[in-house]
Amino acid sequence: MVEMDQLAQTVAVRAFSTDEELNGAMQEKLEAIYAEILAAPAVANAYDAFEAAQENVAKLKRAQSSLTRRGRVVFDKMKEMASSVDMALIESHAEGKESALAGLKGLAALESEHRAVSRANSRVLEHLLPQAEIDELHRTADHLSAKASAVREAASQRIQKTAQMMAEAAEYEGGIVFDSLNTLSGEMQRHAAEFDRQAANYRNWARDREEQYLKLAKELESISSVRMS
């Protein structure tokens, strides 16, 4: 469709008769372009790393939750068995007997398990999970940056192709000017800029989270040193 303003001598060339048709067609093109971009090796690899980091965080959260539950169960069993052993010892010594009790071994086993569970839980909470969450933030930023680069490259290629076609029209008419910001390529450039902005945010969050982790780790190390001295 060609629309001409006789007074201003401007020409608008449209491939679609309505804005609705235009928006629908542009959306379909964007979806097709993004499907190719997401399948590109650099973007796909970055996404795989992001997914692996996500799964690592989820795995550690599951482990921490399970360790917490097991710790409570073992602690309750310890209290029950300790009470039983105490009463048995009292009765034994009241009767002048000092024979070893079978329950002592069971209690010792529970105490050993509780220490191990508590130690593993603390390691997850204080070190492994924070480190995994920091890595997840970095991998998210990397994925967004990879998408930004791929989208920007695709937009640049489209602009170059459009410019080549416009060059033919310019050769015919003597000069053609078009606003790339109002094209599909311009929209892709805006998407790329938004991906970059999001990536920067995630890197800032990762840096803040790492600073918090290192500060807490130093405090915990100081407390541990005091306890051992």
**140-191, pLDDT tens digit by residue?**
999 999 999 999 998 888 877 877 766 666 666 665 555 566 677 888 889 9
Q: What is the pTM of this model?
A: 0.76
**79-126, pLDDT tens digit by residue?**
999 998 888 888 888 887 766 666 788 899 999 999 999 999 999 999
Q: Residues near 9 by Cβ (< 8 Å), separated by ≥ 6?
A: none
Residue 49 CA to residue 101 CA, distance in Å, equals 54
